[in-house]
Structure 1
Amino acid sequence: MTDIVILGAGYAGLAAATNLAGRVRRRDDVRLTLVNAGDRFTERLRLHSTGTGRPTADLRLSGLLAGTNVRLEYGWVTAVDADARTVRLDDARDLPFDTLIYALGSTADTASTPGAAEHAYTFDDFHGAEALAARLGRGTVVVCGSGLTGVEAATEIAERHPDLAVHLVGRDAPGAFMTAGARDHLRAALDRLGVRVRTAEIRKVLPGAMELTDSRLEADVVVWTAGTRVPPLAAAAGLTVDGRGRIVTDPTLRSVSHPHVYAVGDASAVRQGFGTLHGTCQSGMPTGVHAAASIARELDGKQPRPFRFGYYHRPVSLGRGDAVVQFTRPDDSPRRAYLTGRAAVWYKETVTASPWPTYARMLKLPALASWWPRGGRYTR
């Protein structure tokens, strides 16, 4: 019996679990275990909407995996022993493994700025987004971080709660990665919704305010989207990690120090010809699928193949009725082409639709599982 344990049921981890389950469901010599903190699948791409009080789907892992060859274990991972091949959970259970898929993802980096962990809301999970929604009322909301998540959060809050004063603060101007036309549309949407943009470095978050490089900004609610960090578990396990704590992988997504450990999603430092992938759903799910395909090949006595990936776009919602989509080259640099307005809304909703039906199909259809093994520009 070969024990394969998957840690984390986010986009990448669940893609790995369901795809691998579809590939090995006719085998009786493989045991699959998926470890997750709870039963709910968190669609992180929609948490900024949850944070304004909009309803989102309640998707349950137990329902998806019922009757499959995947055993679901609930718990927080407290330690990994990569040499002894065991995982320790918070209830003191030890889970043995022959092969591990490490997909524990990332969280908002509230540790780098004093006061952020104590006084800011994050979109790390459904409950955090719900807590933000319950807190929004009157006053001033400051969204920290001018990247995609920050822009989506600021515009969604401003549209849903027009009585609030919404500020967007970040080191870079919103849409700095876009071409001029797409960036102008994004800035016009922020102006239309009354979002006040500040380009500054945040020094400290205080109760009811924050210190910037050159001023102080009052804030009744602070939302933190400025950067991410990964758990220190991988480094503590003795796995080779990069400067951000992500597991360094070989071309097939195996740990360079422990080849029986695959790393996928935000927790992995995956190098391509143009550089290291940054954490997004766009690249995360393909890494999970590729790890599943590689393990299935190893079970059949074959060598895993290198992972190949190229970015295709950066879609950004600007409230419910507007969006901008910047198309990119494989290295994520912007192309000239972009979409705005209703066409961009339709495009974004199409390509970021819930992956839930895809997970269900991968569990049941080995033919589909085999169709998706090579990486590539999968963007759903």
Structure 2
Amino acid sequence: MAEHVVVVGAGYAGLAAAKLAARWTGSRVTLVNERDRFVERVRLHELAAGRRLRDLPLRDLLAGSGVELVVDRVTGIDLAAREVRLTGGALGYDRLVYALGSHADPGVPGAAGHAHSVSTLEDAERLAAALAGARAVAVVGGGLTGIEAAAELAEARPDLAVALVTGGGFGEALSVKGRRHVRRVFDRLGVTVHDGAGVTAVDADGVALGTGGRVAADAVVWAAGFAVPDLARAAGLAVDAAGRVLVDHTLTSVSHPDVLAIGDAAVIRRRDGLELRMACATGLPTAQKAVRALARRRRGAEPGPLDFRYVNQCVSLGRRDGLIQFVDADDRPREFVLTGRLAARYKELVVRGTVLVERYPAIPAG
């Protein structure tokens, strides 16, 4: 009887892993996801700004792959019994691929009740509704998610006063040229930047700053960090302090060899010890690596270490501008960037290409 592989989570990493497992290992594969649609998470700031996204039914993306889709929510994992607990029952497995991803981490008082995010489809839809009658919005977080959200909202809604608030320096992950371009775009779009001003609380009227001031807002977007579900820790998998699964160079759990963990849900390191950041750009290649390692072991071969090199960071700045920040292999910014409409087209091609890889996941993803 063929081994039963269950993949939980149909994000960028999980969907690709399920299709590759069916293709490369000959296993019976079941994919579990709480909704029947694939969500382009990297576009959710566009949805929040009022743009409609493509409808991508999972059954269409899985057509011809042999993967069985179960639409249900995972409530727990019984590692001893090798069962995934769902709201509608339980599902047994021989091997589990854990790919439940991450979500926004509202880490200050009031953020959970008053802030919105762009980390899930439902979050982005609620934010869009909250912005319908808003006159001012504060985006908390100076990373790429916050920068993209602030620019998108400012371009789509010229009537909206947009402020970006960050505890660190503005655009710290970017090169000098990259930061200058983003600042020019923000100036053109009218986005106000409050850097070096950590948020200490969120309420219905905006955010309180550690410097003692306030930024008034009708809506707050929280883009200041991500967390993972507590299911792995609760199940008894070895995890780090944040609850991400600890894995070896083949993406196999260090505590349970019948479990693989990929994407944002895992602590993934290259052979030199560099930890990969949470991103779609790392999720797809690690899914390929995990399933390829599984297939090699099936053939009696020993998988090699993860070999991953960063190339660039793609940042949308509305629909007509962008920044392609080229980086070295270790993700350090270089003083080489693409900007403007060319960068916007580049980013759009990358995002569309990501869905192409989900349809044909054997295409190299990085």
Q: What range describes the TM-score normalised by the shorter chain of this pair?
A: over 0.9
Q: Secondary structure at the match of 1:271?
A: coil
1:292-338 Cα deviation digits (max 9, x unpaired):
11222233333333221111111111111111111111111111211
Distance, in Å, in 2 between the alignment partners of 1:274 and 1:175 is 25
2:320 maps to: 321
Is 2:237 the partner of 1:239?
yes
Name the CA distance, whole Å, in 2 between partners of 1:242 and 1:75: 27
Residue in structure 2 matched with residue 375 of structure 1 by the alignment: none
Q: Which residue of 1 aligns with 2:215?
A: 217
| Superposition deviation, residue 354 in structure 1 | 4.6
Instruction: String of CA shifts for 1:239-275, please: whole Å, max 9, x gaps.
Output: 1111211111111111111111111000000112252
Equivalence map 1:18-57=2 (5 Å): 18-24=19-25, 27=26, 30-57=27-54
Question: 1: CA distance between counterparts of 2:66 and 2:323?
Answer: 41
1:286-305 superposed matches below 5 A: 286-305=285-304
Identity across the alignment (%) = 47
Q: How well do the aligned residues superpose, as a CA RMSD in angstroms?
A: 1.5
Any idea what SS the aligned residue of 1:41 has?
Answer: coil
In 2, the alpha carbon distance for the partners of 1:67 and 1:319 equals: 36
CA deviation string 1:193-218 (max 9, x = no partner): 00011121111111122211121222
- Matched with 1:133 is 128
Which of 168, 172, 177 is equivalent to 1:176?
A: 172
Aligned to 1:69: 66
Q: 1:227 to 1:306 in 2, by over 3 A?
A: same
Q: Provide the rounded CA distance (Å) in 2 between the counterparts of 1:46 and 1:219.
A: 23
* Separation of aligned partners in 2, 1:265 and 1:6: 12
Whole-angstrom CA distance in 2 between matches of 1:225 and 1:128 = 12
Instruction: Return the alpha-carbon distance in structure 2 between the equivalents of residues 315 and 69 of structure 1.
Output: 33
- Tell me the secondary structure at the aligned position of residue 235 of structure 1: helix
Match in the other structure for 1:165: 161
**Contact 1:249 1:269 (8 Å CA) reproduced:** yes
Does 2:187 match 1:191?
A: yes
Take 1:335 and 1:355, find their aligned partners in 2: how far apart are those partners? 24
How many Å separate the matches in 1 of 2:13 and 2:65?
19
Which shows bigger deviation, 56-65 or 169-178? 169-178
Q: Which amino acid aligns with 1:126?
A: L
| Ranges in structure 1 where 5+ consecutive residues have no aligned partner | 363-368, 373-377
Instruction: Give the aligned residue type for 2:161.
Output: A
Moved more, 157-166 or 199-208: 199-208
The answer for the alignment partner of 1:145 in structure 2 is 141
Q: What one-letter code is carried by the residue in structure 2 that aligns with 1:169?
A: V
**Aligned counterparts of 1:13 and 1:220: Cα–Cα separation in 2:** 36
In 2, the alpha carbon distance for the partners of 1:138 and 1:81 equals 45
From 268, 271, 275, the counterpart of 1:270: 268
Preserved CA contact (<8 Å) 1:53 1:130: no
- Contact 1:53/1:134 (<8 A) preserved: no
Instruction: With the length of structure 2 as denominator, give the TM-score of the two structures.
Output: 0.95
1:13 aligns with 2:14: yes
| Equivalent residues, number | 361
Question: What TM-score do you get using the length of structure 1 for normalisation?
Answer: 0.91
Contact 2:154 2:189 in 1 (8 A): yes
Partner residue in 2 for 1:365: none
- Please tell me whether residue 285 in structure 1 is matched to residue 284 in structure 2: yes
- Out of 171-180 and 313-322, give the one that drifted further: 171-180
- Following superposition, the deviation at residue 48 of structure 1 comes to 0.4
Counterparts of 1:286 and 1:68, CA distance in 2: 19
* Contact in 2 for aligned 1:139/1:165 (Cα 8 Å): yes
- 2:102 matches 1:103: no
CA–CA distance in 1 between the matches of 2:359 and 2:349?
A: 18
Distance 2:285 2:245 in 1: 17
Is 1:202 matched up with 2:199? Answer: yes
Deviation at 1:346, TM superposition (A): 2.0
Stretches (4+) displaced over 3 A: none
Q: Report if aligned partners of 2:77, 2:83 keep a CA contact under 8 Å in 1.
A: yes
- Residue identity opposite 1:16 in structure 2: A
Deviations 1:102-134 (A, max 9, x none): 000000001x21111111111122232122222
Q: Distance in 2 between matches of 1:219 and 1:257?
A: 46
**What residue number does 2:251 align with?**
253
Check conservation: 1:43, 1:354, Cα contact below 8 A: no
How far, CA to CA, are the matches of 1:101 and 1:251 in structure 2? 15
